[in-house]
Structure 1
Amino acid sequence: MDDIVSQIRALAGEADTAGRVRVQDALRQVLSQLESPQDTLVQLLNAHLRIAAVRLGIGSGLFKSLSQSQHPLQVAQLAAQLCINPQMLARIVRYLASNGLIDEVGVGEFKANKSTHIFSDRKAEAFVYHAFDVCGPAVQVFPDFLDETGYADITSNTKTPFQKAFNTDLACFAWLSRHPKLLEEAQQVMKAFQSGDWAVGFDLFEKEAIRAPKHLERVFLVDVGGGHGHQCVEIRNKFPNLNGQLVLQDLPEVLNGLPDIPGVKIEAHDFFQEQTVKGARFYYLRRILHDWPDTLCIKILQNLRSAMADDSQILIDEVVLPDTKVPWQSTMADLMMMVTLGGKERSQEQWRCIAEQSGLLVEHIHKYHGSATFNSVVVLVAKGAFERRSSCA
């Protein structure tokens, strides 16, 4: 058995992203086959408790204390540091250790492991708080909501399990804007998923970015709903000649207090209103449209369509679901978007459908992050402009 485990670890250590995903999938299948019916049921109950215990570990400062210590700590030491009853703490750390979230190294003695360090990171903390405090209550009422609505499709962002969970008529983002702490956690979650990987190997974009002349008056890229501007910073750093040709847009409450970003114009804007930047080369939306039902996605895209020049393109940085064998991460995200926001993850055909209803066409889909994932940039062009270019070709 030890030899088999060693082989699996070696295989996982040498694998690329796609290989690691295959190893994880295989191990999950083996584990499922090994479980008894009782094991399966108990695991379901444990899943409910596990995230609550993680939130306790974060909120109490337990994970941070263990991560910052150079040596294992006794329960009594931890209890004194955290001002927690030792008997209560002993039961909590015993549970966390049994679930692999901290390491037990002796009787009543614990130390940090990889998971402990992960949960000590600010972005991971925000993710757990958002998952537990915002998504958790909506998931809890999900079955009752569907039963009450006759399992009708969720097509509105104000008629979802979220409204039932929080007894509100407000859409999720509007509700969050009234709860600044929870809004900040949501912003931190969005930051955690920011990356410039989408531009790597994306010839259409890279060639345009490299050859764009300095001091061009035309805006090169508008980051629509771009939060705190991490994508603009990534692009500016990768392509210094674009300094001054990047625009960050988001709602006033998101941009409030945001410091200046050198080389980036910051503009408060609601993407449900007319787009104020006309004729930009690219309009970029990262993980925006999966937050919204189709009707509102079409409204967002129509506002961009009205602002486009003939050579403008819209870049939608999202998952493009395969037609079969969708990975669990994507199906989870799809249901979570539906439960909290009325949104969804979309297939290629679904992207084409909302594009056409917005006066746009899918010109190209750039897949990135390796063959095992479905992160993509969907490139949209205006219908009329595409037809004019085609007739001239």
Structure 2
Amino acid sequence: MTSRAEKLLRSMSEDVSALQDYLHSHNLPELSIEEDVPFQFQTNPNFSTRRDSAIKACRELIALLSGSLGTLVNQTPHAIANTQAVCKFNIASNLTEDSDVTTYNELARRCRLPETEIRRIVRALIPSHVFREYSDGRVAHTAASKLLAVDPIMREWIDLSVTEMIPAVLKFPDAMEMWPGSEEPNRTGYSLAHDTQDMAFAHMAKFPGRSERFMAAMKLFSRAPENSPRYLVENYPWAAIGRGGVIVDIGGSSGEYSIPILQTFTNLQVIIQDLPEVIGKFDDRELPDNIKDRVSFTVHDFFTKQPVQGADVYLLRWILHDWSDTYAINILRALIPALHLKSKILINEHILPLPGEAPVPQEMALRTFDTSMRAFTNGKEREVSDWEDLIARADNRLKIEKIETPEGSALGIIVVGWEPSKEV
């Protein structure tokens, strides 16, 4: 039996062949990203009909390959605004009250909204493969709309994107113009979008629920397979540290990444450090019994001198990308007084590929992260040369011993050693 994906591929192949024949018959070059087909030929029905058919099939195939999560995360601003309305008015969850198919009239009754509003919102999302509509006018779920109905973290991410991130991203060129070359975390697109002199995290903390929403939304990325802690567990020589070895998880929140290391390597212990408002949310009652005596939570600001001397590993996972080079260097320098010869700084962050080095979807996602961090805090995702420069500027006694992205992982592993014999 031919699958939907195979039918789409066949349709696209036929359309593209027809387009190429059309171009050849008019002595035009083949389709190219370097040069457009002249407008008078684009508008010809023999070209535009086939082109539109190929684009439609291509977009549906992308949705099939991306799955529900990818479909929702990669929406246009207009589509995500309609998706926020779906979340705010419980449109997706009301569709699953007794079945996955219903009329617009019934859905409007459940949502307590005018039918015209429900129809506009849902139909705006159908081209993005969020909802579908039968020929008799009934509306039904797709995998993406069903995810909105059942997953509160997905809804938190949508809300965060619309209210915090997208306004900031749209304002980052204005911030560049207002504060040329600034690396300050409170001179950003977020600052302008939210009319604040505070940096993003401090500003959100002033409003009940906003910091909590941010942390909940970030769990969406943590649970993605490519962000699994197993890559950190499997790609560092933890067993070689020896019994009683100490890992300091800096800015570690609940220990989402360091605790799995303990569960695999029973000879180690972890000190999780974070700010008081974060550490106060966690205690050992939430830990598995077999690791409780090897985990501690401690208040620490990573811009201040590191209090734990001579740990085997100082782990910085998804910390430095929040900060510009100026502040990332300060975070690294705050570790130096605590380092011993055996100590390693283990950085678990994105390593941006050069153009063409990674699959296009992965590169697009990483560049989107980079733009988001720039708009949010003047942070950045970094290429290999950026990491090398950052470590060298922090202190010439720090040496990168390993820098790689394990196969299948979205996050790279950067191991930094300490050579105190070098002159500063």
Alignment partner, residue 21 of structure 1 = none
Alignment gaps of 5+ in structure 2: 11-31, 60-74, 223-227, 358-362
- Structure 2: how far apart are the matches of 1:369 and 1:130? 30
Cα displacement string for residues 273-332 of structure 1 (whole angstroms, at most 9, x for unaligned residues): 111222111111111101101111011111122212211111111111223336111111
1:343 match: 379
Q: Distance in 2 between matches of 1:369 and 1:109?
A: 44
CA distance 1:379–1:137, shift in 2 (3 Å): same
Deviation at 1:90, TM superposition (A): 1.8
Do structure 1's residue 325 and structure 2's residue 353 form an aligned pair? no
Distance 2:356 2:345 in 1: 28
Indicate how the Cα distance of structure 1 residues 336 and 141 shifts in structure 2: closer, same or farther if over 3 A, else same: same
What is the aligned partner in structure 1 of residue 254 from structure 2?
Answer: 228
Q: TM-score, structure 2 length as denominator?
A: 0.74
Could you state the TM-score of these two structures normalised by the residue count of structure 1?
0.80
Partner of 2:400: 362
Query: What count of residue pairs does the alignment treat as equivalent?
Result: 350
How far, CA to CA, are the matches of 2:281 and 2:350 in structure 1?
Answer: 31
The answer to whether structure 1 residue 334 and structure 2 residue 373 are counterparts is no
Structure 1 partner of 2:240:
208
- Asked if 1:288 is matched to 2:324, the reply is no
Q: CA RMSD in A?
A: 3.2
Unaligned 5+ runs, structure 1: 11-28, 389-393
Find the partner of 1:61 among 85, 90, 93: 90
The reply to whether residue 252 of structure 1 matches residue 252 of structure 2 is no
Residue in 1 aligned with 2:418?
382
CA distance in 1, matches of 2:112, 2:36: 43
Aligned-pair CA distance for 1:363 = 0.8
Shift in Å at residue 86 of structure 1? 1.9
String of CA shifts for 1:33-63, please: whole Å, max 9, x gaps: 89969999xx9xx923111011111111112
C-alpha distance in 1, partners of 2:328/2:260?
26
Q: Which amino acid aligns with 1:267?
A: T
Work out the CA distance in 1 between the residues paired with 2:274 and 2:94. Answer: 36
What amino acid maps onto 1:175 in structure 2? H
Is the aligned partner of 1:196 residue 2:229? Answer: yes
**Cα distance between partner residues in 2 of 1:124 and 1:4:** 26
Task: Look up the match of 1:163.
Answer: 191
**Superposition pairs for residues 1-393 of structure 1, below 5 Å?**
5-6=5-6, 47-67=76-96, 69-120=98-149, 121-149=151-179, 152-194=180-222, 195-202=228-235, 204-208=236-240, 212-213=242-243, 216=244, 218=245, 220-242=246-268, 245-260=269-284, 261-262=286-287, 263=292, 264-325=295-356, 327-359=363-395, 360-370=398-408, 375-384=411-420
* Deviation for aligned residue 1:99: 2.4
Paired residue for 1:22? none
State how far apart, in whole Å, the 2-side matches of 1:378 and 1:233 are: 19
Distance 1:71 1:333, change over 3 A: closer
Q: In 1, Cα distance between the equivalents of 2:306 and 2:96?
A: 47
Quickly say closer, same or farther: Cα 1:4–1:66, change in 2 above 3 A.
closer
In structure 2, distance between residues paired with 1:361 and 1:173: 31
Partner of 1:391: none
3-state SS in 2 of match to 1:363: strand
Percent of counterpart pairs with the same letter?
26
Q: Quickly say closer, same or farther: Cα 1:143–1:350, change in 2 above 3 A.
A: closer
Distance 1:246 1:83, change over 3 A: same
Conserved? CA contact 1:227–1:255, under 8 Å: yes
Higher RCO, 1 vs 2 (CA within 8 Å, ≥6 residues apart): 1
Within 2, Cα distance between the matches of 1:361 and 1:205?
A: 18
Query: Which deviations, in whole Å up to 9, do the C-alpha atoms of 1:131-187 show, x marking residues without a partner?
Result: 1111122123233333444xx334221211111111111111111221231211211
Shift in alpha-carbon separation, 1:47–1:382, aligned structure 2, 3 A? same
Question: 1:139 is matched by which residue type in structure 2?
Answer: V
Aligned partner of residue 327 in structure 2, secondary structure: helix
Whether contact under 8 Å (2:250, 2:274) holds in the other structure is yes
Instruction: Quote the residue 1:25 is aligned against.
Output: none
Give the whole-Å Cα distance in 1 for the aligned partners of 2:130 and 2:4: 23
Aligned 8 A contact 2:233 2:260 in 1: no
| More deviation, 72-81/164-173 | 72-81
